[in-house]
Structure 1
Amino acid sequence: MKKALVLILLAGFAVPVFSQSDTTSQNLEEVLIQENRIQIPFSKQSRNISVVGKNQIETTPARSLQEVLTFVPGVDVRQRGVSGVQADIGIRGGSFEQTLMLLNGIKLTDPQTGHHMMNIPVPLVNIDRVEVLKGPASRIFGQNAFAGAVNVITRLSEERNLRIQGYGGDFGMRGVNFAGSLPAGKYRQNLAVSYDESDGHQYNSDYKVSNIFYEGGAQLDEANEIRGMIAYTDRTFGANGFYTSAFPDQWESIQTTLASLAHTFQKDRFYLNTRAYWRRNEDEYRLRRNEPEFFQNFHTSDVFALEANGSYQSKLGTTGFGVEVRKEQIESTNLGNHDRTLSGLFLEQLVQLGSKTDLRAGLYSNYYSEYGWKHFPGAELGFQASKSLRFYSGIGSSYRIPTYTDLYYVGPTNIGNADLVPEQARSFEVGGKWNRSGWRGELVYFNRYSENLIEWTRSSDQDPWQPRNLNEVTFNGVEASVHYAINSNGRPIQVREFMLSYNFIDADFSGQEGLESRYALTALRNQVITGVLVGFGEKVEWNTKMRYVERMSLDPYFLLDMRVDYNRLGKLGFFAEASNITNEDYIEAGTVQMPGRWFRAGFMVNLE
């Protein structure tokens, strides 16, 4: 493993030697980070944020969003099989329950369990970019953005196009997707359909995943825009070892539906977005796949929400405001029937303190039908030392209420705890960003002090897992990253993109003597990621990705992935990619053995 780490670092220092400054350098300065209210360009953000653009999504050796996120610094994706058929995601040592997933600002939190938060009903080809906000985001997005938030952004195209992709590979992998845009006058619309399946890399690890995604919108006049979306995903899979190693024949089938309607009014210095959305998740779980009578659960959860978010620019700066009402309910053969109501108020202010310093501060006040009022203040301070260099610091508080699985689940190997109280944390970070001529660098230190952390524990192997509130947990960490990107300029051989990152996290756990921890002690300790995208002429792209991952109580591992594209943006293109080329033996979640070396290849047709 030490040799693997040295290899990654040598690759990181070697690549810049071959790269050159170029006037066609890519930058993110004008990308507005979508935070619902105050929208700030990426270069002016006083937060640790990673943006994964469409070019990166398309050239990464990955078949799913989950796999794409494995290459984002500080993000811990724990998959249970190929293509992320079910995966948990954590940020800065946080659990999968402590990360908020969003789609165009719509919260995808499921009241049943955080295991369903990555059931995003959008084919990968429709994603325009992904914004990963690290650190407390409760002041911006509300509760459950405990350790960070991931916002998936789609875009309505103004041009007609049709894209068809198909692929096949090891483990009986095959898939196809159709994505098209058909604007009609002022009305723009996208439709995408995808299907993926595999026989599985080991016994009872097969899966079938279907997605249907439609969005449309129209600019009614200069000030008013409407936008709607409806999406559906069906995931059925063998769940060998997903929740317990005692029953290798576990099976699960999940259907998620999402619908939303939004209106945006923007005129002069005033902006207001109102929206309503509904999310349903239906989950059938069997402990023995072919014996449903042995142990079977049916869960149906619904979320109904109304939101209004806006901003106003005045002599005092930019004021952001918002209100939300959210109804969560579940009908379950195991958890029972429950419902709860959440409502919240947002208020924040961005002010300039001189020509180089800015302060953004605010408060999110949330009312829970079960826990009463809770308040999440936070602030960020930024100092623009030069055109290329920015320093920042921030503080914030966060909060997470237990899921219904945490509270009420009853099974042979897992039992809920109705006496749980919500988690809460205080966080601090300080860092600096550098951006010049296609290069971006960032160094940040963070600290998170948590109280009443909810963690599944047990006293011995014979006892079932049960969640408890741990007294105190402190996370300290450092993230360092450098990224380089330029556009193609026709050179025979050109390094178009390069990245190198290192993350270190240290955790101090208190009050858990004699208890075995299920999730907390498997958080990241050391993570190194590097990648190089090389262009050969205008049509060939070769992307190499390497990762070294060491968790707190698991063996470290090194992964090497590659992808080659030919004529990716042309009318007919082809690709081939390979994962775990070094054939590493490793585990990311629970006791699920991840696949060794595997390959897939495919084609894409682009029509206008």
Structure 2
Amino acid sequence: MKKTLLIPALILLSNNIKANQDTTTVDLGEIIIKENRIEIPFNKVSRNVSIISRKDIETTPARSIQEVLSFTPGVDVRQRGVSGVQSDIGIRGGGFEQTLMLINGIKMTDPQTGHHIMNIPIPLQAIQRIEVMKGPASRIYGQNAYAGAINIVTTLPETKTLNIQAYGGDFGMKGISAVSSLPVNLPFGKYRQTLSVSHDASNGHWYNSDYKVSNVFYEGGLDLNDKNEVRTMIGYTDRSFGANGFYTNSFPDQWESVQTFLASLSHTYNHENLNIQTRAYWRRNTDEFRLRRNEPAFFTNNHVSDVLALEANGRYESNLGTTGLGIEGRQESIDSNNLGERKRSFLGVFAEHRIEFLEDFDFRAGVYSNYYNEYGWKHFPGAELGYQINNSSRLYTNYGASYRIPSFTDLYYQDPSNLSNPDLVPEEAQSFEFGYKFNNKGLRLELVYFNRFTKNLIDWNREPSDITPNPNQWTPRNISEVTFQGIEAGLQYILKLGGKNFKLTEVSVSYNYIDANLNQAPGLESRNTLSALRHQAIAGIRSEFLGNFETNIKARYVERMALDPYFLLDARIDYNRLKTFGLFAEASNISNSDYVEAGFVQMPGRWFRAGISLNLFQ
């Protein structure tokens, strides 16, 4: 009897408690894009950047970072199953090896393969926002920020908080997560800390697609004084899943288990016009793959990769503008029964400067220089020019050169279906972008044209055959060249249309078109290059009703090169999202579409999940 009365009592109580402030409703123009050196207000950035706010994350019909990103214009998310158990991320036609993932500016690059860059050890609830930088970012972040970069940003709250969520749904899906913060006043400074944990599991939406995902993330920051701050991060994720159709459809009992560990320590000095940050981090990834889940002796790959890095970045503001300088040292290694024992080291140097002139213009230019003993020094310049037409309108253009080192899998992986190629050279690209932004009274509009020319693009291809299945092996090669060009148009309108019982609060729509002109040896079959996005349309509607309810409806049309198009409709409803006790429900693929995003995995039809949330704070 007591249990049956608990939930109604909490609902009544929550209606009388002051709602937690929804801090993510602030104007995007107030957000500072936190690059590793120069920091720029969002409304003065001279390139195409999407911001996924805390409110977006909380109200999107999604249970993972990957699913949240799938609603971002120009981002191609290819999931092998639900809830982002393993997903590949591409930007503007780029592949999963050409996108750089970061956590608070720390690179999550995996030297084994880009399949592992989304092994993010942070529960969705602990993320403050996600910054998606489209186009070349090598000048800003270094190698592998080839077609774009995605930076996950977390914050350390000033107050004590505790947020708990639990949910269940179709396919035996269940999950629980908790995010807590506990600031402490110490004799030598204020220490802020956050601990986040989560566990998600499912029986799977088809044969051998079950999964278990656990995350632990700790972050702490000590303000020593007004000038000095020390910050640390420790994260761990454990993912085990049935991999039916992930890499081949010949073995439906594939299985994989991946563990990723991340630790970092940083110091920031900030005084007057000078900011210097130094940091060190270590990332380890352990991967076990079995071709037959219950027969490891039949075929098993075991890989352990390590990344150790030291960085120093600084900026100085003067009457001549803002100058940014940086240096990084990085060592990557792998111990694998298939790839062998490999090591490589990199040195990178950054320099850039930004000025504002003639009142309405701003110009930023810089270069990233990289040294790798196999290829010597390589230099990658870039520049951005912006013109503020008025308080609402802005024109911008930019150019950048980008660079990607082949992964250890590209260079050395070999099995009966794949042949290695240790003679690969890095990919290099020249990119250009021109755009227009409008932002006034809740209406945001952006139009962009982009062009990326690549030489030495790495793609897995093979000779055609009249025999089915094709007996020829896939081999990674530096194909001669490819040009991606396209347009992006996006509109977002934040409004309060309606009465007391119903309000339409946001309408958004975007469209992306990408064209690829591939020049390679005739007759070769390509595994990756010609499967990029061609058309992508995304629309969303948010509303509030009866005071405590919020809805978010999302629709997507996706058409990839050489693949069948599909349409998806998703929705979420929240009750008391910011109050002490809340409820939510989500529906995915309401349109019940038949589609494949990656590999040979048939994605599920219509499916549902629902849960509760508790927000406890002082």
Same fold (TM over 0.5): yes
Shift of 1:137: 0.2
Indicate the residue corresponding to 1:3 in structure 2.
Answer: none
For the residue of structure 1 that corresponds to 2:30, the secondary structure is: coil
- Normalising by structure 1, what TM-score? 0.95
Indicate the residue corresponding to 2:491 in structure 1.
Answer: 482
Indicate the residue corresponding to 1:12 in structure 2.
Answer: none
For the residue of structure 1 that corresponds to 2:28, the secondary structure is: coil
For the residue of structure 2 that corresponds to 1:171, the secondary structure is: coil
Give the Cα separation in 2 of the matches to 1:489 and 1:261: 49
Indicate the residue corresponding to 1:341 in structure 2.
Answer: 345
- 245-254 or 112-121: bigger deviation: 245-254
Give the Cα separation in 2 of the matches to 1:146 and 1:87: 18
Shift of 1:412: 2.4
2:562 counterpart (553, 571, 583): 553
Asked if the contact 1:528–1:548 (Cα under 8 Å) also holds between the matched residues in 2, the reply is: yes
2:574 counterpart (565, 568, 579): 565
Shift of 1:470: 0.8
Shift of 1:517: 1.1
User: Are positions 1:45 and 2:49 aligned together?
Assistant: no
**Count of equivalent residues:** 585
Asked if the contact 1:488–1:538 (Cα under 8 Å) also holds between the matched residues in 2, the reply is: no
Asked if the contact 1:399–1:422 (Cα under 8 Å) also holds between the matched residues in 2, the reply is: yes
For the residue of structure 2 that corresponds to 1:33, the secondary structure is: strand
Shift of 1:38: 0.5
Where does structure 2 lack aligned partners over 5 or more consecutive residues? 1-23, 465-469
Shift of 1:537: 3.8
For the residue of structure 2 that corresponds to 1:241, the secondary structure is: coil
Indicate the residue corresponding to 1:104 in structure 2.
Answer: 104
User: Are positions 1:220 and 2:224 aligned together?
Assistant: yes
Give the Cα separation in 1 of the matches to 2:338 and 2:546: 58
Indicate the residue corresponding to 1:377 in structure 2.
Answer: 381
1:184-333 to 2 correspondence within 5 Å? 184-185=184-185, 186-333=190-337
**Counterpart amino acid of residue 451 in structure 2:** N
Asked if the contact 1:488–1:535 (Cα under 8 Å) also holds between the matched residues in 2, the reply is: no
User: Are positions 1:402 and 2:400 aligned together?
Assistant: no
Asked if the contact 2:25–2:55 (Cα under 8 Å) also holds between the matched residues in 1, the reply is: no
1:32-181 to 2 correspondence within 5 Å? 32-181=32-181
For the residue of structure 1 that corresponds to 2:56, the secondary structure is: helix
Indicate the residue corresponding to 1:5 in structure 2.
Answer: none
Indicate the residue corresponding to 2:614 in structure 1.
Answer: 605
Asked if the contact 1:228–1:261 (Cα under 8 Å) also holds between the matched residues in 2, the reply is: yes
Give the Cα separation in 2 of the matches to 1:92 and 1:266: 36
Indicate the residue corresponding to 1:20 in structure 2.
Answer: none
Indicate the residue corresponding to 2:357 in structure 1.
Answer: 353
**Counterpart amino acid of residue 302 in structure 2:** F
Indicate the residue corresponding to 2:479 in structure 1.
Answer: 470
Asked if the contact 2:249–2:600 (Cα under 8 Å) also holds between the matched residues in 1, the reply is: yes
User: Are positions 1:583 and 2:580 aligned together?
Assistant: no
Indicate the residue corresponding to 1:19 in structure 2.
Answer: none
Asked if the contact 2:273–2:318 (Cα under 8 Å) also holds between the matched residues in 1, the reply is: yes
Q: Deviations over 1:473-501 (max 9, x none)?
A: 00110000011235899942112222100
- 487-496 or 186-195: bigger deviation: 487-496
Taking a change above 3 Å as real, the CA distance of residues 87 and 487 of structure 1, as seen in their structure-2 partners, is farther
Taking a change above 3 Å as real, the CA distance of residues 217 and 487 of structure 1, as seen in their structure-2 partners, is farther
Give the Cα separation in 2 of the matches to 1:223 and 1:495: 45
- 69-78 or 364-373: bigger deviation: 364-373
1:429-448 to 2 correspondence within 5 Å? 429-448=433-452
Q: Deviations over 1:293-317 (max 9, x none)?
A: 0111110000000001110011110
Indicate the residue corresponding to 1:6 in structure 2.
Answer: none
Asked if the contact 1:25–1:486 (Cα under 8 Å) also holds between the matched residues in 2, the reply is: no
User: Are positions 1:596 and 2:605 aligned together?
Assistant: yes
Taking a change above 3 Å as real, the CA distance of residues 170 and 483 of structure 1, as seen in their structure-2 partners, is same
Asked if the contact 2:73–2:511 (Cα under 8 Å) also holds between the matched residues in 1, the reply is: yes
Indicate the residue corresponding to 2:427 in structure 1.
Answer: 423
For the residue of structure 1 that corresponds to 2:83, the secondary structure is: helix
Give the Cα separation in 2 of the matches to 1:482 and 1:26: 18
Asked if the contact 1:348–1:362 (Cα under 8 Å) also holds between the matched residues in 2, the reply is: yes
For the residue of structure 1 that corresponds to 2:57, the secondary structure is: helix
**Counterpart amino acid of residue 246 in structure 1:** S
Taking a change above 3 Å as real, the CA distance of residues 489 and 231 of structure 1, as seen in their structure-2 partners, is farther
- 478-487 or 535-544: bigger deviation: 478-487
**Counterpart amino acid of residue 337 in structure 2:** T
Shift of 1:123: 0.3
Indicate the residue corresponding to 2:18 in structure 1.
Answer: none
1:452-467 to 2 correspondence within 5 Å? 452-460=456-464, 461-467=470-476
Give the Cα separation in 2 of the matches to 1:487 and 1:366: 50
* CA RMSD, Structure 1 to Structure 2 (Å): 1.3
Taking a change above 3 Å as real, the CA distance of residues 149 and 156 of structure 1, as seen in their structure-2 partners, is same
Shift of 1:402: 0.4
Give the Cα separation in 1 of the matches to 2:32 and 2:529: 34
Asked if the contact 1:26–1:487 (Cα under 8 Å) also holds between the matched residues in 2, the reply is: no
Indicate the residue corresponding to 2:21 in structure 1.
Answer: none
Q: Deviations over 1:188-234 (max 9, x none)?
A: 00001100001111111110000011000011111111110101000
Indicate the residue corresponding to 2:583 in structure 1.
Answer: 574
For the residue of structure 2 that corresponds to 1:586, the secondary structure is: coil
For the residue of structure 2 that corresponds to 1:145, the secondary structure is: coil
Where does structure 1 lack aligned partners over 5 or more consecutive residues? 1-23
**Counterpart amino acid of residue 426 in structure 1:** Q
Give the Cα separation in 1 of the matches to 2:351 and 2:140: 9
Asked if the contact 2:496–2:503 (Cα under 8 Å) also holds between the matched residues in 1, the reply is: no
For the residue of structure 2 that corresponds to 1:583, the secondary structure is: coil
Taking a change above 3 Å as real, the CA distance of residues 423 and 579 of structure 1, as seen in their structure-2 partners, is same
Give the Cα separation in 1 of the matches to 2:497 and 2:29: 19
**Counterpart amino acid of residue 580 in structure 1:** N
Indicate the residue corresponding to 2:542 in structure 1.
Answer: 533
- 134-143 or 493-502: bigger deviation: 493-502
Q: Deviations over 1:432-458 (max 9, x none)?
A: 000001111100000000001001112
**Counterpart amino acid of residue 568 in structure 1:** R
Asked if the contact 1:25–1:437 (Cα under 8 Å) also holds between the matched residues in 2, the reply is: no
Give the Cα separation in 2 of the matches to 1:279 and 1:25: 34
Asked if the contact 1:66–1:83 (Cα under 8 Å) also holds between the matched residues in 2, the reply is: yes
Q: Deviations over 1:234-272 (max 9, x none)?
A: 000011111111211111000000000011110100011
- 327-336 or 488-497: bigger deviation: 488-497
Asked if the contact 1:26–1:438 (Cα under 8 Å) also holds between the matched residues in 2, the reply is: no
Q: Deviations over 1:173-192 (max 9, x none)?
A: 00001110111111100001
For the residue of structure 2 that corresponds to 1:562, the secondary structure is: strand
Give the Cα separation in 2 of the matches to 1:235 and 1:412: 26
Taking a change above 3 Å as real, the CA distance of residues 128 and 436 of structure 1, as seen in their structure-2 partners, is same
Give the Cα separation in 2 of the matches to 1:355 and 1:61: 43
1:505 counterpart (510, 514, 518): 514
Asked if the contact 1:79–1:87 (Cα under 8 Å) also holds between the matched residues in 2, the reply is: yes
Indicate the residue corresponding to 2:529 in structure 1.
Answer: 520
For the residue of structure 1 that corresponds to 2:503, the secondary structure is: strand
Give the Cα separation in 2 of the matches to 1:328 and 1:155: 29
**Counterpart amino acid of residue 309 in structure 1:** N
Q: Deviations over 1:101-147 (max 9, x none)?
A: 00000000000000000000000000000000000000000000000
**Counterpart amino acid of residue 54 in structure 1:** R
For the residue of structure 1 that corresponds to 2:112, the secondary structure is: coil
**Counterpart amino acid of residue 521 in structure 1:** L
Give the Cα separation in 2 of the matches to 1:463 and 1:245: 16
Asked if the contact 2:497–2:504 (Cα under 8 Å) also holds between the matched residues in 1, the reply is: no
Shift of 1:167: 0.4
- 454-463 or 108-117: bigger deviation: 454-463
Q: Deviations over 1:78-115 (max 9, x none)?
A: 00000010000000000000000000000000000000
- 408-417 or 312-321: bigger deviation: 408-417
- Normalising by structure 2, what TM-score? 0.93
